[in-house]
Structure 1
Amino acid sequence: MKFKTKYIVPTVFLLVFFSIFLVACTDNDIELNDGDTHLSEELNNTISNYIVQQYSTSSLNTEKQFEVHKVYGTSEKNDVTTVYFWSYYGGFNKSTGAENQSGHSLPAVMQLKKESDHYTVVKYTEPEDGDFYQSSIKKMFPKKYLKRVYNDSGNSKDLEKEMDVLVKQWLAE
């Protein structure tokens, strides 16, 4: 019995130490830049244009689609910028005015690479549906932004106002 006790304590200690080490290092290897003040208009436009292009085929009964987003923060690694944000997308018709005909409001993560004169989308991720929604968000976002993502769920009033401005400009053309 002494033999087992002699090895159990160091083994448990090592397991606890490595568990704490792994948890502590999960987000620490990423340097986060909060907010969007450091993002260029070009990068923001690339995000919106990509999402509009991705969903335009699912909004066939709309004349014009728009996307606006709220950036929580970014990180950079190997010349790739990762943007953590909430996206609000909608399709509209002139006959129905500012009434959104189709769209979505959801958290997303996009990775972009700066080319010589533009950005290229490397990867775009949205949360999974149903039972996997919460766990996929936890995988997508750094812990630092999770509370804000959960708080923004169902609360996109600021983005709706921003969308209304774009739609009204389009309607006035």
Structure 2
Amino acid sequence: MNKLISDYIILHYDGVYPKTDKQFEVHKIYGAKETGAVTSVYLYSLFLGFNEETKTEGQSGHSVPAVIKLKSEGGKYVISHYKEPRDGADFKRSLYKIFPRKYAGIALKDTENSAGLQKEMKQKAEMWLRK
């Protein structure tokens, strides 16, 4: 499921940021909620693009809480919906609208340090550069 989420977010942001040699996404999952055939996954995502010449220094990207809805189809999960809170002054209010209260406060605090995901992101970039 983690690979599905990362691949989806990378594809979702294709062409949004300036072109880079390689893009990675890492995330922290707060929890999930099943409603019928749909599973809502509440997470914090860090997305960065890298260039070989700048090594492990991210060139463009974002860090944001998000909710991804998954449906099981033919024994596999497919993503049916992706949503992030609004930017700016509306951020906190919209975060509490899309996240359960028990996760929203944690995600809000995690915006201060990208949910501690920088080390994992750097490791992915280092592994890519070794190839």
Shorter-chain TM-score: which interval?
over 0.9
Identify the residue that residue 59 of structure 1 maps to in structure 2: 17
- Can you give the 5+ residue segments of structure 1 that lack an aligned partner in the other structure? 1-42
Aligned residue in 2 for 1:168: 126
**Residue deviations 1:127-155 (CA, integer Å, cap 9, x gap):** 11122111110101111112211210121
**Match for 1:161: what amino acid?**
K
Query: What is residue 45 of structure 2 aligned with on the other side?
Result: 87
Quick check: 1:130 aligned with 2:88? yes
**Count of paired positions:** 131
Shift of 1:118: 2.6
Q: Does 1:142 align with 2:127?
A: no
TM-score scaled to structure 1, two decimals?
Answer: 0.72
1:54-82 residue CA offsets vs partner (Å, 9 max, x unmatched): 11212342011000000000000111110
Question: Structure 2 stretches of 5 or more lacking a match?
Answer: none
Cross-structure match for 2:33: 75
**Are 1:49 and 2:7 counterparts?**
yes
- The structure that is helix-richer by fraction is 1
Alpha-carbon shift at residue 117 of structure 1 (Å): 4.3
* Identity score, percent: 45
Aligned-pair CA distance for 1:157? 6.2
Give the match's secondary structure for 2:39.
Answer: strand
Counterpart of 2:55 (choices 69, 87, 97) is 97
**Which structure's residues are more often strand, by fraction?**
2
Cα distance between partner residues in 1 of 2:114 and 2:89: 22
